[in-house]
Structure 1
Amino acid sequence: MRFIVTGGGTGGHVYPALAIARGLKAKYPAAEILFLGSEGGLEADLVPKAGFDFQGIKLTGFKRRLSFRNLLACWQAARGFTEALRIMNSFKPAAVVGTGGYVCGPVVLAASFCRIPTLIHEQNALPGVTNRLLSYITNAVAITFPDAVRYLPRRTRIKLTGLPVRPEFMSCTRQESRRALGLPEEGRLVLSFGGSQGARTINGAMVEVLYHFREKSDLHFLHVTGPAQYDDFVMMMSQRGFGFPDNGNNTIKPYLHEMPLALAAADLVICRAGAATLAEITVTGKPAILIPYPYAA
């Protein structure tokens, strides 16, 4: 049996897709799973590291305003649809599962065109544009929050499932996780991050937090800046008198692949309020200070 899983752009789409892929593999150990994502997207890095076959499709997301780049996005979407059709005909999956993001569009559309059963999972209370469009053609929609129902077509087959979380979040222990991450085994640990892409406002606020608590030897911070904002963060820290790599009671990372370990190690989490993050925090039972992104559901 073969399955295609697709979704990407942000960790909020990629990580639920990986959890679904692992769930399929657990239920069907002999199954072949192919992950389709965008070339150069976050998924191109995360999926192979998770042990799944990955194939990239060259796509560009649409701008929600008049832009010449949308013409390029349309052309790439059409080409992506053609490429996805070729993959459907050669791989012949039993079903296709999508978790959102613009790459999900041409892949699920191609599967529907080939009469392959399709399912999409929506993580948010307000469904994303891609999933709202796909809900008209997909066989079923799995949702995380009941509020999402009112934004979907009435004839859609909907199932309230919650948000799938990777099993690693349930198996890590505090002390083992701290040792694995090279963090102090004693004292309190605060984990802070702004989602897979980082958040400029949270980074700026954390510089001041780290400066305020810089002399607290019984308190350690693990802050994740986001890859594109790491250099700016280091500069702000330097302006505050911190030295690198020895910068006192804090550890700074551009990105953290070992988030299950980090959550297990932490005593408090400061972060955005993305659906995947909320599910992971809930599963691990960690107290959290949430800073929602004001322009997202």
Structure 2
Amino acid sequence: MRIIVSGGGTGGHIYPALALIATLQKRHPDLQVQYVGTENGLEADLVPRAGVPFKSIQIAGLKRSLSLENIKTAYWFLKAVRSLKKDMAAFKPDVVIGTGGFVSGPVVYTAQQLGIPTILHEQNSIPGLTNKFLSKKADRVALSFKGSETHFPGADVRLIGNPRGSEVSQTKVDVASVREQYRLDERPIVLIYGGSRGAEAINRAVIEAIPALDALPINVLYVTGKVHYDSVSRQAPSADNVHIHPYVYDMPSLLACTSLVISRAGASTISELTALGLPSVLIPSPYVTADHQTKNASALVESGAALLVKEEALTGEELVKAIRQALGRKDEMASASRALGFPDASDALANLVEEVIR
């Protein structure tokens, strides 16, 4: 079996793709994979780390307003399509899978022009422009949230969940080793992070909250995002129980040891939380398409699995208040979270891949 996979920009598009590849590699030891991303995206780091062959193209997303930058984007798109046609003719993929982000646009589009079967995976409850455009000719569209099918009229849609959740739920973890790696004692672990790139608003609130967090009987593992780490390290007050890191590569192992998560509400994060049955405090990003992170979070909040704090209301005081409240309800929140998971999403997406190439 030969597949091309494309998705990039954020971990939310990349991790489901890597989880799918890992599942297909187990099923098909002779699997040949080519991953297409951008040179400057997070995928250029994560994909080679996973041992997956990686090729980069130059592309950017369209601006939603009139902009001269869109002329440059159109040029790059057409240039990428010309290059990808040659690559696909040489590689001869059986199927091309797009997991989102603007980089998947020219990749899936080229496959569709060449008559190669295509599959899209939409992680969010409200899709982005790329997947809505590509869905018109896709062979299958796999969804993570019930209700998203209304955005893909006429498409062959399947509700499967997010493969990232399957990956984290199957991770075998030595808790003692994880605690030793991050220098954490036996107290419960509260993980705070702002998505794969970090979030400045969350960083500001955590810095403000550190003196109060230092008084709680917990370990706080605080992930700033690489671009924010130096600035946060300079500003953050010292606290024995607050451990600051720029990035975590093995998030599944850390999550498996965690008692409470404070994070954005990206689709992969939601999938991880529900797969492991983790309680959470969700702070949706207000800067994403159609405020879809708030929609992503709604199922967890409404079921009692998570608390919601709007970014506009986020302060150190509000953050500590939410953490205290969640810790007091963590058992019931964990149970509600676990009830929302999709444990077989990686297998379900792999089944779709096999289905379209039969």
TM over 0.5: yes
- Residues 171 and 253 in structure 2, CA contact (< 8 A), matched pair in contact too: no
Deviation by residue 1:6-46 (Cα, 9 ceiling, x = unmatched): 11111110111111111221221211111111111100100
Separation in 2, partners of 1:49, 1:213 = 34
Q: CA deviation at 1:232?
A: 2.4
In the alignment, which of 245, 269, 272 is matched to residue 264 of structure 2? 272
1:26 and 1:41 map into 2 onto residues whose CA distance is 27
Give the distance between the partners of 2:150 and 2:176, measured in 1 at CA: 44
Deviates more, 1:64-73 or 1:126-135: 64-73
Q: CA RMSD in A?
A: 1.6
Match for 2:245 among 253, 265, 271?
253
Local SS of the residue matching 1:60: coil
- Determine the C-alpha separation between the residues in 1 that align with 2:281 and 2:171: 23
Q: Give the secondary structure class of the aligned counterpart of 1:146.
A: coil
Distance between the aligned counterparts of 1:169 and 1:52, measured in 2?
Answer: 22
Q: Which residue identity does 1:210 align to in structure 2?
A: I
Cα distance in 2, alignment partners of residues 30 and 229 from structure 1? 41
Identify the range of structure 1 (136-145 vs 247-256) with the bigger mean alpha-carbon deviation: 247-256
Segments of structure 2 that go 5 or more residues without pairing to the other structure are 293-358
1:281 to 273, 283, 302: 273
- Evaluate the alpha carbon distance shift between residue 86 and residue 177 of structure 1 in structure 2; reply closer, same or farther with a 3 A threshold: farther
Identity %: 41
Q: Which moved more, 1:2-11 or 1:171-180?
A: 171-180
**Offset at residue 255 of structure 1 (A):** 1.3
Unmatched tracts of structure 1, length 5 or more: none
Partner of residue 224, structure 1:
223
Mapped partners of 1:283, 1:118: distance in 2: 27
Q: CA deviation at 1:126?
A: 0.8
Q: SS where residue 197 of structure 1 aligns? A: coil
Q: Residue in 2 aligned with 1:42?
A: 42
Question: Residue 25 of structure 1 aligns to a residue in which SS?
Answer: helix
Shift >3 Å, 4+ stretches: none
Cα gap change, 1:206/1:172 in structure 2, threshold over 3 Å: closer, same or farther?
A: farther
Tell me, yes or no, if structure 1 residue 101 matches structure 2 residue 101: yes
Query: Retained in 2: the 8 A contact 1:111–1:117?
Result: yes
How far residue 177 of structure 1 moved from its aligned partner, in angstroms, is: 4.9
State which of 278, 286, 293 in structure 1 corresponds to 2:285. Answer: 293
One-letter code aligned to 1:224:
V
For residue 207 of structure 1, what is the aligned residue in structure 2?
207
Aligned positions of 1:1-297 closer than 5 A = 1-154=1-154, 156-165=155-164, 167-173=167-173, 175-179=175-179, 181-216=181-216, 218-237=217-236, 241-242=237-238, 247-295=239-287, 296-297=291-292
If the length of structure 2 is used for normalisation, what is the TM-score?
Answer: 0.77
3-state SS of the aligned residue for 1:52? coil
Query: Aligned residues, how many?
Result: 288
Contact 1:175/1:185, CA 8 A, preserved across alignment = no
CA–CA distance in structure 2, aligned partners of residues 177 and 84 of structure 1: 44
Displacement of 1:63 in angstroms is 1.9
User: 1:129 and 1:157, CA in 2 relative to 1: closer, same or farther beyond 3 A?
Assistant: same
Once residues 19 and 7 of structure 2 are traced to their aligned partners in structure 1, the CA distance between those partners, rounded to angstroms, is: 12
- Give 1 or 2: higher helix fraction: 2
Query: Aligned to 1:96, what secondary structure does the other structure show?
Result: strand
* Structure 1 range deviating more: 177-186 or 55-64: 177-186
CA contact (8 A) 1:178 1:185 kept: no
**1:168 positional shift:** 4.6
